[in-house]
Amino acid sequence: MPNVIETTGLTRAYGSRRGIVDVAFSVAEGEVFGFLGPNGAGKTTTIRLLAGAIRPTSGSARVFGLDTWADATRVHASMAYLPSDPGYLGELTSGEQLDYLAALRGLPRGAWRRPAERLELDPSVRIRKLSRGNRQKVAVVQVFMGREPLLVMDEPTSGLDPLMQREFLALLAEAKADGRTVFLSSHNLQEVERGCDRVAVIREGRVVDISPVQALLGEHWRSVNLVLDAPPRPGFFDLPNVRVLSEGGRDVHVMVRGDVNPLLRRIAELDVRDVAITTPDIEDVFLRFYDAAGAEPAEPAAAPRMPTEVTP
């Protein structure tokens, strides 16, 4: 499968300040590629280089074989781009703004209607009156309203509520099924886990890991909280990848690492009133990349007995 994106030694300095250094990765056609890192790690700089918005200090970024700086106009024709902080014309309604953006991309008027309806965006409200979340809906709608083969998005679900985040993931899955390629940065680990095929982790301007999503998450612990109808027998949860933190009475708290299926099969033998499985925080995923010693904790950190919200 050919690569849609290729970077080699990609470096960008801002005077004496670091941007990114020797960033190298490739994204295959039809792949959803996640880009993870804390604020200031270099995610937005990388995306702006891919979009041809800034020039690299050294190295190269190529999209569909084209240099993103030298051939920026041709690259833009094949790309839908969602920046981290898009600017809009405040006196226009969201529908008028989207029609304007559609015209710039050669799309017909109203091309935005289907994604706007799915994200429950009111096209009649002026941009300046929109909430932060509704402004972000405009950004998401504009990136999905066309047919460009490459979507590049910087923190696309920032400000969206959980229901709209779920709809975003549905749109993402449809784009992938249609053979389109997606590059997105995110702080939302569940978004990356559910939507991406592979993920790169960037630390202090350098890519420190590129892995399939499940391989990255499989190295970390998940917290599983159960409320049972009856206490389990002693040793019921003794499994190689499970650590029991509390097993007294009907409330059980265990941690699982890697493949969750053996634990799920064991849980299926019980009468369960409530269950909550908590994915690791983004900070947990970054831990081994930011630990100076490069070692992971010997024990998983204890989590609260039961989170405020549980999933039946």
Residue 310 has pLDDT above 60, yes or no: no
With a CB cutoff of 8 Å and minimum separation 6, the contacts of 39 are none
Select the more confidently predicted residue: 230 or 2: 230
133 and 60 within one domain? yes
* Strand runs labelled E in the chain: 3-14, 17-28, 32-36, 58-63, 66-67, 79-82, 150-154, 181-186, 198-203, 206-212, 221-228, 242-246, 251-257, 272-278
66 and 163 within one domain? yes
251 and 155 within one domain? no
What is the tens place of the pLDDT at every residue in 3-56?
999 999 999 999 888 899 999 999 999 999 999 888 888 999 999 999 999 999
119 and 9 within one domain? yes
In a domain, 311, yes or no: no
137 and 65 within one domain? yes
- Chosen domain end from 201, 216, 231: 216
* CATH value at residue 131: 3.40.50.300
Place of tokens 């190298």: 24
Q: Percent of the chain, pLDDT > 70?
A: 88
Q: Is 250 helix (H, G, I), strand (E, B) or coil?
A: coil
Residue 266 has pLDDT above 50, yes or no: yes
pLDDT for the residue 234: 86
If you compute the radius of gyration of the chain from its CA atoms, what whole number of angstroms results?
Answer: 22
Residue 252 has pLDDT above 80, yes or no: yes
9 and 42 within one domain? yes
102 and 134 within one domain? yes
Beta-carbon count within 10 A of 118 CB: 17
143 and 86 within one domain? yes
Residue 287 has pLDDT above 70, yes or no: no
pLDDT for the residue 303: 41
How many whole angstroms separate alpha carbon 133 and alpha carbon 131?
5
Q: What are phi and psi of 235, to 5 degrees?
A: 75, 10
Query: Average pLDDT for residues 112-130, to the nearest whole number?
Result: 96
In a domain, 278, yes or no: yes
In a domain, 139, yes or no: yes
Number of domains forming the structure of the chain: 2
Residue 159 has pLDDT above 60, yes or no: yes
Q: What are phi and psi of 142, to 5 degrees?
A: -65, -30
Give the burial class of 235: count Cβ atoms within 10 A of its Cβ; 0-12 exposed, 13-18 middle, 19 or more buried.
exposed
Q: Is-contact 216 208, C-beta < 8 A?
A: no
What is the tens place of the pLDDT at every residue in 167-189?
999 999 999 999 999 999 987 77
pLDDT for the residue 293: 36
Confidence of residue 288 (pLDDT cuts 50, 70, 90): low
Residue 214 has pLDDT above 90, yes or no: no
How many whole angstroms separate alpha carbon 220 and alpha carbon 184?
22
In a domain, 228, yes or no: yes
Confidence of residue 218 (pLDDT cuts 50, 70, 90): low
Q: Is-contact 106 119, C-beta < 8 A?
A: no
* CATH value at residue 249: 3.30.70.1560
In a domain, 248, yes or no: yes
pLDDT for the residue 243: 87
How many whole angstroms separate alpha carbon 233 and alpha carbon 81?
55
- Chosen domain end from 152, 186, 216: 216
pLDDT for the residue 93: 96
pLDDT for the residue 286: 61
- Chosen domain end from 195, 216, 237: 216
pTM, full prediction:
0.77
Average predicted confidence (pLDDT) for the chain: 87
In a domain, 307, yes or no: no
Domain that holds residue 200: 3-216
Select the more confidently predicted residue: 139 or 285: 139
In a domain, 298, yes or no: no
Contacts 24+ apart (CB under 8 A), 25-28: 25/200, 25/207, 25/210, 27/3, 27/181, 27/183, 28/1, 28/2, 28/3, 28/4, 28/181
In a domain, 300, yes or no: no
Buried/exposed code over 49-70 (b: 16+ C-beta within 10 A; e: otherwise): bbbbbeebeebbbbbbebebee
What is the tens place of the pLDDT at every residue in 272-285?
999 998 876 555 56
What is the tens place of the pLDDT at every residue in 191-200?
888 899 999 9
104 and 11 within one domain? yes
Select the more confidently predicted residue: 60 or 295: 60
What is the tens place of the pLDDT at every residue in 49-106?
999 999 999 999 999 999 999 999 999 999 999 998 888 887 899 999 999 999 999 9
109 and 170 within one domain? yes
Strand 79-82 relative to strand 150-154, pairing? parallel
225 and 125 within one domain? no
282 and 229 within one domain? yes
Supply 276's token pair: 């909550």
3-state secondary structure 144-183: HCCCCCEEEEECCCCCCCHHHHHHHHHHHHHHHHCCCEEE
Supply 126's token pair: 């002026």
